[in-house]
A and B are shown apart, each in its own frame.
Chain A
Amino acid sequence: MPAWPENRVHIGSHAKRVDAPAKVTGAAKYTSDVQPEGWLYGMILRSKWAKAKITRINLDQARKIRGVKAAILRDDTGERTVRYYGEELAAVAGVSKQACLDALRAIEVEATELPFVVNVEDALEESAARVWEDAPNASKPRVREQGEVDKAFSDCAAVVEGFFSTPVQIHHPLETHGNTISWTEEGVTCWASTQGISSVREGLAGHLQLPQSKVRVFSEFMGSGFGSKFGLGVEGGLAARLSKEAQAPVKLMLTRFDESLAVGNRPSTCQKIKLGASADGKLLAFELENYGTAGIGGGGATEGGSGGVEIPAPYIYRVPNTRAKQFSIAVDAGPACAFRAPSHPPASFGMESIMDELAVKLDMDPLELRLKNDPFEIRQKEYRLGAERFGWKEKYRKPGSSPGPIKTGVGCAAAQWWGGGRGTQAEAQVNPDGSVEVRCGTQDLGTGTKTVIAVVAADIFGLNPEQIHVRIGDTQFPPSGASGGSTTAASVSPAIYDACTKALQELQKQTGVADARGENWKVACRKLGVNPLVVHGQWQEGLSSSGVGGVQFAEVAVDTDTGFVKVKKITLVQDGGLIVSKLTAESQASSGVIMGIGYALYEERVMDRQTGVMLNPNFETYKLAGLSDAPEIEIVFLDMPERGVIGIGEPVTIPTAAAIANAVANALGVRVSRLPITPQRVLAALGKDKLSS
């Protein structure tokens, strides 16, 4: 069985991001930077109706606009029933953005407006318009039951109930969805902003009915996806067809407006929870009814997790008597898809909120209640370590007992995730001059995959990470999986280990140098002669594993006069097996916390029930956490090298909102049970907003 080297120099260190200079100087070329000879802009015409029967789309006037080189329909006939505002109808390509914009405005669309419904509450009404003609808006509930729930509740010493809701959250990667695609006689070349170059290639070849050997996809740098960039997407298919019609490369990057509407979101949840325990706090009975909306459906891009409404319940706890009834509600809005730790942040928010309510009822410290019930040993350790670092004992007070109008409070919550990965292949090329190239058909979402590859290769060869030329994001390299589910580090690292270890062995065998590492490297390589050494490797059992916990502690200050919540501190304790690249892992952890703050306090898709449009398709009123909203973030990794590599990109964002919500409830003595926790909702919870509904 292979094993990670005992003496790790760069693995687990704060080694710099290998592509940092390229990124800060702008030398790094993202999809939107690529400019193949003769390229055109592409843009998409979207439905301005929430629901309509499109009977005819006329592109003639659009084609006459100066500079427009192609105009195509999404569907051959132009006929379509659109079911949400922003659904794609047609696309144009032209020599300038303005030519495309003018063309979009020149397209004539004939449509019959149909009744629509965009909010969950409305969609549940008997008289609500149906999103899908042949099915009711509410799906048939799925019920999971074990034990004797009703009897167990009657035996409980303490029972609490609550209703918790979470909003529809938009992914909003800073680089929007998009591709630059060139379709020529020889084949199709695609520069994609994607989490999966192989899935994009498969999608393109299938969509265009070309052999996969004629399709090549690049993604050397990309600005994140959070689960929404696995497939080709409608925009990718349209870009390819535009390129064929225009006989020129087409760059079709979505605008922020587009990004808000049609490329995925995290479904909402409305969780009615009942939880019962014995007098000493042992969980005995749990009941959940949960519904929410994934828009018109679950969407196609669900690799790495579900895009559905259903949540794991009772989340991280084991309750012997459990009943969970869950259903989804269709509305005329963009479909959901996988989103960083699909279904876990809302699950954590609901369950950890009711846990704190139970602690209040039992007059127990909420941390004690967790330690009493958490079945995962690693998390027990994390809670104890985190509590010490955070100063839980000193900071925790009874709910609502903080003096003055600006009240402080603390809360905690936990995560679980898998984070395993497998299947990656890679090759190491050792050149006679001693330079090293490592090739792998993975992609770096910005998380630091290139750095992970470099530090693994460096430690095996006894070199510095800067000496490793990492080449990724090309479907002509040995394949790797899509980057989702926090699988990349655990899937890629072992393959790099394997390729590099074998390359070292081969180098030593061919050259007769007993130990070619470190200072012997150049001498050994020179002995290769003219041809480089190329060695293939693949993921091996034993170097990675799966299954992590993770806990977070939050401290907040709440202004009870204005309802303003300020997160002062988050302490995060996360296990991830062997941490390969500490710097980028810490960066991921910070990003998870900051994203969690957005989910807790700011983010929410707002749909207008009168017109069916989205009212906040921009960063002005769809509010993301900024740097000034970020608190002191203390990151503690529970390093467990014996477990091998496990991904941490998702668990680090799961419990943030739950911990913040618990801290706010601890500060106020009343709970804001709906995310985001806005001033409006804080004041309502305090009974100070008597007029608004």
Chain B
Amino acid sequence: MKPFQYATATSPAGARQLMGDNGTYLAGGNDLLALMKEYILNPKILVNIKSLPGLNKIQPGGKVWMIGAAVTVAELEDHPGLKKTFPALPQAAAEIASTQIRNVATVGGNLSQHSRCWYFRQRDVLCLKKGGDTCYARHGENKYHSLFAGNTCISPVVSNLSVALTALDATAVVQRGDKQIRMTMPELYAKAWDNPTAHNSLEPGDLILRVEIPAQDRRSAYVQMSEKSAFDWALVSCAAAGKVQGGRISQAKVVLGAVSPVPYQSKAANDFLEGKALDTDTTAKAADLVLEKAHAHTQNGYKIPIVRALIHRTLMQLKA
């Protein structure tokens, strides 16, 4: 990697200032280290943001829960209050990487992590996402890639937390310049839908401070399917939230991960679910609607039946 400086920030504005034009924020550092070792990122300065006040706290609330960006994935996984209130979130956290990684990985880092596409990560390949002119995955090895894409790059979002938080209607609070702005989860990823070089909508210098989840009486669940039993990326992940009364679901939201550059949802499917009895027919029709615009490439069509299975299983968990 290239030489870099290291500094610790004590305030969000100070962090932004320290970071300058060519810096990066450092929290867990898992992916950052890999990107630097591969010379994909070459920051001049790493600004440690783990000491920023309040960033490492999970704060329950009657109206809104606040989860600091430096809270570790392991803390999410083990939090009794979250398990009770927003089970999708600790379920999504528990599926991330390995125990060792979860102990240092953070909420902010998971949400803002970069593509895992094996062309993007290959040191001697200059793909579209790295500023080249070809998405090699489109005509190459694409078994791990997207079924939905708004641009030529078909690298999917792999943040487990983004999928759960989208279903939970969470909002990210982001330090941009000297202001704090709020971005819904769809807004946090929208740019990756349109722009092949984007991993998310964050601009240089943007710093996720926390996510806010509105208190709700909906249940939630997260399920993922990988090739291996543990320490593996999702082939498909699914989060759902909804209120189930008398076997009928309302205020439903179904979100998919690893099949699109953004946490993918279908308004038609969510609308369809309103008031429906939660049964096999309903989940199958919801899956049809979610998959309406799916486009399989040469090697990833198998994700479609997995999407169907996971939508069914996740929605059924809401019944419990």
Chain A: residues with CB nearer than 8 A to chain B? 48, 85, 98, 101, 257, 559, 561-564, 566, 601-602, 606, 608-611, 613, 615-616, 620-621, 623, 625-626, 628-629, 678-680, 683-684, 688-693
Please tell me if B64 contacts chain A, counting CB pairs below 8 Å.
no
List the one stretch of B86-94, B104-112, B303-311 in contact with chain A: B303-311
- Which of B45-53, B211-219, B225-233 contacts the other chain? B225-233
Q: A691 touching B304 by the CB < 8 A rule?
A: yes
B125 adjacent to chain A (CB < 8 Å): yes
Shortest CB–CB separation between residue B3 and chain A, in angstroms?
A: 8
Shortest Cβ gap from B33 to chain A (Å): 14
Q: Does residue B296 face the partner (Cβ distance < 8 Å to A)? A: yes
Compute how far the CA of A85 lies from the CA of B233 in the bound complex, rounded to whole angstroms: 26
Contact B300–A608 (Cβ < 8 Å) = no
Contact in complex: A610, B302 (CB < 8 Å) = no
Chain A residue with minimal CB distance to B126?
A611
Q: Would you give the shortest CB distance from B126 to chain A, in whole angstroms?
A: 9
Chain A residues with Cβ below 8 Å from B297 are: 692
30 intermolecular pairs with C-beta atoms under 8 Å apart: A48-B124, A85-B124, A257-B123, A562-B306, A562-B309, A564-B227, A606-B141, A608-B119, A608-B125, A608-B140, A609-B140, A610-B140, A613-B125, A615-B118, A615-B141, A616-B118, A621-B144, A625-B228, A629-B228, A629-B229, A629-B230, A679-B225, A679-B227, A679-B235, A680-B302, A688-B302, A692-B297, A692-B299, A692-B300, A693-B298
Question: Which chain B residues (222-278) contact chain A, with CB distance < 8 Å?
Answer: 225, 227-233, 235
B301 at the interface (CB under 8 A from A): yes
Q: Is the CB of B306 within 8 A of A679?
A: yes
The 8 Å CB contact of A692, one of B136, B229, B296, is B296
Determine whether the beta carbon of A691 is less than 8 Å from that of B136: no
Please encode chain B, from 112 to 129, with 1 for each CB lying within 8 Å of some chain A CB and 0 for all others.
000010110011110000
Closest residue of chain A to B313 (Cβ to Cβ) is A561
Query: How far apart are the CA atoms of A690 and B298 in the complex, in Å?
Result: 10
Task: Name B's interface SS.
Answer: loop
Q: Identify which of residues 92-108 in chain B touch chain A, using a CB-to-CB cut-off of 8 Å.
A: none
Cβ contacts under 8 Å, A626 to chain B: 228-231
Given contacts A566-B229, A610-B136, contact A561 B308 (CB under 8 A): yes
Roughly how many angstroms separate A608 CA and B139 CA in the complex, as a whole number? 10
Q: Tell me the bound Cα distance from A563 to B301 in angstroms.
A: 13
B residues apposed to A, CB below 8 Å: 1, 116, 118-119, 122-125, 134, 136, 139-141, 143-144, 225, 227-233, 235, 296-302, 304-306, 308-310, 312
Which residues from chain A contact B310 at a C-beta distance below 8 Å? 562
User: How many whole Å from B295's CB to the nearest CB in chain A?
Assistant: 9
Could you tell me the distance between the alpha carbons of A679 and B296 in the complex, rounded to whole angstroms?
16
Q: For the complex, what is the distance from the CA of A613 to the CA of B144, rounded to whole Å? A: 17
Minimum CB–CB distance from A671 to chain B (whole Å) comes to: 17
Does the CB pair B301–A691 fall under 8 Å? yes
Q: Can you name the residue of chain A whose Cβ is closest to the Cβ of B225?
A: A562
Please name all residues of chain A whose beta carbon is closer than 8 Å to the beta carbon of B305 when the two chains form the complex.
561-563, 683, 688-689
Given contacts A566-B229, A615-B119, A629-B228, contact A679 B302 (CB under 8 A): yes
> Could you tell me the distance in whole angstroms from the C-beta of B149 to the nearest C-beta in chain A?
15
Task: Find the A residue at minimum CB distance from B306.
Answer: A562
- Assembly CA distance A621 to B235 (angstroms): 12
Q: A602-B228, A613-B125 are in contact. Are A683 and B306 (CB under 8 A)?
A: yes
- Residues on B with C-beta less than 8 A from A48 are 124
Bound-state CA distance A602–B229 (Å) is: 11
Instruction: Report the separation of the CA atoms of residues A615 and B118 in the bound assembly, to the nearest whole angstrom.
Output: 6
Alpha-carbon separation in the docked complex, A404 to B273 (Å) = 26
Most A-side CB within 10 Å, residue of B123, B140, B229: B229
* Complex contact A613–B122 (CB within 8 A): yes
Distance of A85 Cα from B299 Cα, bound (Å): 24
Residue numbers in B under 8 Å from A690 (CB-CB): 301
Q: Are A692 and B125 in contact (CB under 8 A)?
A: no
Residue of B with least CB distance to A564:
B225
Between B122, B139, B308, the greatest number of chain A beta carbons within 10 A of the residue's beta carbon is seen for B122
User: Is B227 touching A602 in the complex (CB atoms < 8 A)?
Assistant: yes
Chain A neighbourhood of B225, CB < 8 A: 562, 564, 679
Nearest chain-B residue to A561 (Cβ)?
B309
Top-8 shortest CB links A-B: A691-B301, A561-B309, A692-B301, A691-B296, A689-B302, A628-B230, A628-B229, A680-B302
CA distance A611 to B232 in the complex (A): 26
**Chain B min CB distance to A1 (Å):** 51
Q: Given that A615-B118, A691-B296, A693-B299 are known contacts, is A608 also in contact with B235, CB under 8 Å in the complex?
A: no
B98 to chain A, nearest CB (A): 9
Nearest neighbor of A625 in chain B, beta-carbon distance: B228
B37 and chain A: residue at smallest CB distance: A101
Q: How far is the CA of A85 from the CA of B123 in the complex (A)?
A: 12
**Chain B residue with minimal CB distance to A686?**
B305
Candidate in A601, A608, A616, A690 with the most chain B CB atoms within 10 angstroms: A608
Bound Cα distance from A98 to B312, whole angstroms = 50
Q: Quick check: A611 and B230 within 8 Å, CB to CB?
A: no
Closest to A255 in B: B37
Min CB–CB distance A612 → chain B (angstroms): 9
Contacts of B304 in A (CB 8 A): 689, 691
Q: A563's contact among B118, B230, B306, by CB below 8 Å, is which? A: B306
- Give Cα distance in the complex from A27 to B298, angstroms: 51
Q: Return chain B residues, CB-CB under 8 Å to A85.
A: 124
The answer to whether B228 touches A620 (Cβ under 8 A) is no
B141 touches A692 (CB 8 A): no
Q: Once the chains are docked, how many angstroms separate the CA of A75 from the CA of B214? A: 66
Give bound CA distance, A619 to B269, whole Å.
37
Q: Which of B123, B229, B230, B301 contacts A689 (CB 8 A)?
A: B301
Using known A-B contacts A679-B235, A683-B305, A692-B300, determine if residue A613 contacts B124 with beta carbons closer than 8 Å: yes
- Of B118, B297, B298, B310, the most chain A CB neighbours within 10 A belong to B118
Complex Cα distance A688/B301, Å? 9
Least CB distance from A65 to B in Å reads 13
Q: Is the beta-carbon distance between A610 and B139 smaller than 8 angstroms? A: yes
B123, B139, B231, B312: residue with the most chain A Cβ atoms closer than 10 Å: B231
How far does the alpha carbon of A306 sit from the alpha carbon of B301 in the complex, in Å?
A: 38
Task: Say whether B227 contacts A615, CB under 8 Å.
Answer: no
Complex interface: chain B residues within 8 A of A621 (CB) = 118, 144
Q: Which residue of A lies closest to B310 (CB)?
A: A562
Q: A561-B308, A561-B309, A609-B140 are in contact. List 18 more A-B contacts (CB 8 A).
A: A559-B309, A563-B306, A602-B227, A602-B228, A608-B122, A611-B124, A621-B144, A623-B228, A628-B228, A628-B229, A678-B143, A679-B302, A680-B299, A683-B305, A689-B304, A690-B301, A691-B304, A693-B299
Q: A628–B134 Cα gap in the complex (Å)?
A: 38
Q: State the CA gap A683–B123 with chains docked (Å).
A: 32
Q: Is A692's CB under 8 angstroms from B298's CB?
A: yes
Which of chain A's residues have a CB closer than 8 A to the CB of B124?
48, 85, 611, 613
Chain A proximity of B156: nearest CB distance (Å): 14
A629 to B226, CA, bound (A): 12
Q: In angstroms, how far is the closest chain B Cβ from the Cβ of A621?
A: 6
Complex Cα gap A185–B118 (Å) = 47
Say whether A615 contacts B122, CB under 8 Å: yes
Nearest-CB residue, chain A, relative to B295? A691
Contact B118 A684 (CB under 8 A): no
Is the pair A684, B302 in contact by a Cβ cutoff of 8 Å? yes
A60: min CB distance to chain B, Å: 21
Could you tell me the distance in whole angstroms from the C-beta of B287 to the nearest C-beta in chain A? Answer: 11
Chain B, Cβ-Cβ closest to A615: B118
Give, as a whole number of angstroms, the nearest-CB distance from B117 to chain A: 10
Selected contact of B232 from candidates A98, A606, A623, CB within 8 Å: A623
CB distance from A87 to the nearest CB of B (A): 13
**In the complex, how many angstroms separate the beta carbon of B103 from the nearest chain A beta carbon?**
17
Count chain A CB atoms within 10 A of each CB in B124, B125, B141 and give the residue with the most.
Answer: B124
